[in-house]
Amino acid sequence: MEVLFATSNTNKVEEANKIAAEYGMSFQQVNIIYPEVRAESVSKVAGEGVRYVYEKLKRPVIVEDSGLFIDALNDFPGTYSAYVFKRIGCEGILKLLDGVEDRRARFKSAIGYCDKKGVKVYEGVVEGSIPCEMRGSKGFGYDPIFKPLDSEKTFAEDPAHKNRASHRRKATELLCQALSPR
């Protein structure tokens, strides 16, 4: 089964497709701009986004909204993660956390799926922490500064572990399970 994936982020599509292949599914990237609502929850952003895109395309489609939520920064950058990454990057986040002891954080992913039956949203979360320096060169975005709880390596150092444990893995699996024929 092929479903459209509305995004300009090829990394997201590649990661989701590795997981979807395990369910005999794939996502086909489509570059379509949709308005991102201002909201604090990734589920709200993904749900509203996919509703908009479906109205344009009238074909089964997903939109993913994801972000990094840091406890000591009251969940910043959260749903503004893409914008903040462009402005200050991993280095800027490390500066904001300079001298901060509580380095707990989580990545969240929400995948909105829409077809003629309406919108469903699937969520995934991975808990971890922010190391004191950037480590690793794989992946994208904040991967060099995110270390999941069950590993000593960042996602950028260990993409195989990211594939097994990520927020995107969890949300994509829920979607694929819902769409797979029983």
Q: Given the rule CB under 6 A, which residues bind ligand IMP?
A: 9, 64-68, 81-82, 85, 107, 139-143, 166, 168
Set 65, 71, 143, 158: catalytic member: 65
Residue 65 appears among annotated catalytic residues: yes
Using alpha carbons, list the distances in angstroms from residue 45 to 39, 52, 79, 98, 167: 6, 11, 8, 30, 16
Give the number of residues written for the chain. Answer: 182
Q: Amino acid identity of 123?
A: E
Q: Which residue has the tokens 């954080």?
A: 105
C-alpha 163 chain-centroid distance: 12
Q: What percent of the residues of the chain are helix, what percent strand, and what percent coil, each to the nearest 5? A: 40, 25, 35
Sequence-separated (6 or more) residues with CB below 8 Å from residue 24: 1, 180
CB neighbours of residue 76 within 10 Å? 17
- Measured from the CB atom, the residue of 39 and 82 that comes closer to ligand IMP is 82
- Measured from the CB atom, the residue of 1 and 152 that comes closer to ligand IMP is 152
- Measured from the CB atom, the residue of 1 and 174 that comes closer to ligand IMP is 174
- Measured from the CB atom, the residue of 70 and 117 that comes closer to ligand IMP is 70
C-alpha 105 chain-centroid distance: 14
- Smallest distance, Å, CB 157 to ligand IMP? 13
Strand partners, 73: none
Catalytic residues: 65
